[in-house]
Structure 1
Amino acid sequence: MADQILTKKYSGNCHCGLFRFTFEHAELQEASECNCSICTRNGYIFSAPLAPESVEVTRGEGQLKEYRFGKKEYGHSFCPHCGTSIWCQGEDKKLQLNLRTLQDFDMESLKINQDDWLSVKPPYEAPTSFPELPASTQTSNELVVYHGTCHCQRTRLSIRCKPLETLKLMSCNCSLCSRNGDLWIYPPKGDVAIAGEESLVGYAFLSDRCLHTFCGNCGNSLFGRVLDEDICPVNVRCFVDIESKLAGLERQFYNGKAKAPTYVLKD
């Protein structure tokens, strides 16, 4: 008798809970991470391709927004309310789930395989114009200017900070940052200039004094609006040409998951 393959039921959701799904699969042990322009921005940790009928949507059917670009071969679906990237669907209709969205799942246990699509696909062409920064109030002579953009380029940023190679990117495991794979730096507000703000969506998590912002067209996580402090947290994943540099930058872990209040998915 052939050995039976034991399966496990997994559940996932966007952060706000608008969209929820379940699927059964042999215990997940491996996943893939891609370095192309869209996957880097979304911080995807992908499952193997799954037949769409094997994934049951339990809430929010038809609520996701889809983003396509280039040859339109792949649809990248995200929650229009909180910005969580849920899955990518190819022309064969198979789904690659973003495993960051799974509930009570140990991401650290996965073997992550690296997919080098950056060298295969035509290069991503970043915009050529960015907002102008005002004069800096900082006295450091080590500051440099970086540019960032959401993938569809409706929102563009100019950021003045120390060279990324000298900084530690903040990697937080809270329920929101872990879903996006956000990697933060914290320049003063005066050192961040933003163009195309009309395309942004703000999502309040924990406090309405701090909004997580993402592009309402392509879903990319960009920066945080902090009302009570002179900082503008910026997600380095949106930086131009970051795809080839990200792996070599130092990260600092922050255990946001342990901070109150505990994330609870509301019915």
Structure 2
Amino acid sequence: MAEEFKTYRGSCHCGDYIYEIKLGLDFKATKCNCSSCYKKGGLWVIPKQDEIHWVEGGVDTLTSYTFGEKTFHHKFCPGCGAQLCIVGTMEVPKPGEPYNPTTVFNVRSFQYGQVGDVWTLETKTLDGKSYRKPYEPAKFTGPEPEAATEGAKIYTGSCHCGAIRLALKMKPLDKTSDERIMDCNCSICNRHGSTWMYPKKDQVVIEGEDNLGVYLFNTKLFGKTFCKICGIPIHNQPQPITEEQFNNLPEGHRKWLKSGQDLMPINLRTIDGLDVDDLNVVHYDGYNKNPPRYVEP
């Protein structure tokens, strides 16, 4: 019996890039543990290469990031930071050989309702971490966070290219930690693949902020930041607001903004030597619990 295929529609969050691809009905997404895929929480599928259709934008105008032997080009939206696809080959073509790259797409960029929830999506694992040379994280060189926390540990991390580096000062993180750690499936967090934790501002120091892209949407009270070079999501950034603007907000938004003013939510996937799968991560249904609901482009 011939394999049955279905058309899936995906997009970045801001809508500048929209695509449609065909996949078999029983596809499994690949979860790669390499340094780059882990930091972006990527879940990859290989569509029929002759059935890739860009409705808006195109692969050539996405920001491209490559590293190592540069056989893969990781493509993300320069406006909102959503990681859409990877283009490349397993090996560098030899002189005279044709270059026939494969394009794989990130299921996290599929529009809501296309495949159900990523938490229950059937996946297979690729041990990309053992492929080629080990990843060498960038070194944090800034000052220690100012927080006075008894029994604290200093964690350091970065985006993938190292243009943005951070330090986090807090009690050790493991299965026994009672810190609020959360995966959210809202329209932007799902696309970014972030795993959030909510330390106070004096517990975090960020270097290289000039390399941060900031994406604003909906209320525009918080910016979702990402590295402009490699696209890795970093943190939630409260935006400046005047007293008059604050007083004109709905009551719910005022409470939300006040509750977050002393916090610096960070993406734990940026922290070196920490695996979010080893922590107590709560699944939060932000797509349905945070009105108004995002309209898929």
Identify the residue that residue 65 of structure 2 maps to in structure 1.
Answer: 67
Identify the residue that residue 135 of structure 2 maps to in structure 1.
Answer: 124
Query: Is the 1:183–1:235 Cα contact (8 Å) retained in structure 2?
Result: yes
The residue correspondences of 1:127-166 to structure 2 (distance < 5 A) are 127-136=138-147, 138=148, 140-165=149-174, 166=177
Is it true that 1:55 corresponds to 2:74 in the alignment?
no
Identify the residue that residue 213 of structure 2 maps to in structure 1.
Answer: 201
Identify the residue that residue 23 of structure 2 maps to in structure 1.
Answer: 25
Structure with the higher fraction of residues in helix conformation: 2
Query: Is the 2:23–2:47 Cα contact (8 Å) retained in structure 1?
Result: no
Query: What root-mean-square deviation, in Å, do the aligned CA atoms of Structure 1 and Structure 2 show?
Result: 1.7
Q: Deviations for 1:223-245, whole angstroms, at most 9, x for unmatched residues?
A: 11124411000000111123xx3
Give the TM-score normalised by structure 1.
0.91
Q: Which has the larger radius of gyration?
A: 2
Residue type at the aligned position of 1:248: D
Query: Is the 1:188–1:232 Cα contact (8 Å) retained in structure 2?
Result: yes
Instruction: Structure 2: give runs of 5+ residues left out of the alignment.
Output: 90-99, 240-256
Q: Deviations for 1:192-226, whole angstroms, at most 9, x for unmatched residues?
A: 11111111110013322200000001000011112
Residue type at the aligned position of 1:58: V
SS in 2 for 1:225: strand
Identify the residue that residue 263 of structure 2 maps to in structure 1.
Answer: 231
Question: How much does 1:142 deviate?
Answer: 2.8
Structure with the higher fraction of residues in strand conformation: 1
Give the TM-score normalised by structure 2.
0.82
CA distance in 2, matches of 1:30, 1:84: 21
Question: How much does 1:173 deviate?
Answer: 0.9
SS in 2 for 1:80: coil
Identify the residue that residue 185 of structure 1 maps to in structure 2.
Answer: 197
Question: How much does 1:134 deviate?
Answer: 4.3
CA distance in 2, matches of 1:16, 1:159: 30
Query: Is the 1:157–1:195 Cα contact (8 Å) retained in structure 2?
Result: yes
Question: How much does 1:160 deviate?
Answer: 1.1
SS in 1 for 2:37: helix
CA distance in 2, matches of 1:29, 1:168: 33
Residues matched between the structures, number: 259
Question: How much does 1:179 deviate?
Answer: 1.1
CA distance in 2, matches of 1:28, 1:89: 23
Residue type at the aligned position of 1:14: C
Identify the residue that residue 76 of structure 1 maps to in structure 2.
Answer: 74
Identity of matched residues, % = 31
CA distance in 2, matches of 1:202, 1:232: 14
Identify the residue that residue 43 of structure 1 maps to in structure 2.
Answer: 41
